[in-house]
Amino acid sequence: MWQRLLEELQIWSERRPRAFRPIKIILGSPATNQFPKLLYAHWAAISGNQLFHTACLLMLDAKPDGTTPDGESAANSPVWHARKIVGISLTNLHQGCLNNAIQPLWIAGKLFTHHEELRVRRAGHQVQNRWQSLRCPISGAGAIVVTLRD
């Protein structure tokens, strides 16, 4: 069952509509702590792809004992998916996607070494700062300010 679910995720990635594919990709380098840059043209593509990588990362983490993913693909590496999550967040700063980026960044950040983690924290702080700057008026009673805590 686990293998089938992982395959379903890969099928989604392979068959996703053109609008959900990146319009520009710049490969990063783990050796130099550079995250890949994946630029998307639409907010739904940003969130959808980030959540795809998060789902893959969670599936790989929940792998049953004695089970190995089919093939020898980079997509079988949790760190590969984590790097994509961070790369999407750093490249696409669409405010409408920030609420969807918080949990994937937190999950991805747990997998990195010290230097990489600092970059993830910076991305997380960008999200936090943007959330704090949002104000929503409520029937003349002032505003709601969302505060995120570490």
3-20 CB burial, b ≥16 within 10 A, e <16: eeebeeebeeeeeeeeeb
CA angle 34, 39, 41 (to 5 degrees): 170
Burial, 73: exposed, middle or buried (Cβ in 10 Å; 0-12, 13-18, 19+)? exposed
Whole-model pTM? 0.76
Residue numbers of the domain that contains 52: 2-145
Domains identified in the chain, total number: 1
Q: Has residue 28 been placed in a domain?
A: yes
Predicted pLDDT at 76: 86
How many angstroms separate the Cα of 8 from the Cα of each of 15, 72, 87, 108, 138? 10, 17, 23, 21, 43
Predicted pLDDT at 148: 44
CA angle 67, 71, 39 (to 5 degrees): 110
Q: Has residue 68 been placed in a domain?
A: yes
Q: Has residue 74 been placed in a domain?
A: yes
Predicted pLDDT at 119: 65
Predicted pLDDT at 109: 84
Predicted pLDDT at 142: 43
Predicted pLDDT at 81: 94
Are 54 and 64 in contact by the 8 Å Cβ rule? The answer is: no
Among candidates 63, 76, 44, which has minimal Cα distance to 2?
63
Are 51 and 90 in contact by the 8 Å Cβ rule? The answer is: no
Going residue by residue through the chain, which has 150 residues, state the pLDDT in tens, using 9 for 90 and above: 898 999 999 999 999 999 999 999 998 877 766 889 999 999 999 999 999 999 999 999 999 888 877 767 778 889 899 999 989 988 888 877 777 888 898 888 888 776 656 666 666 666 556 555 554 444 444 444 444 444
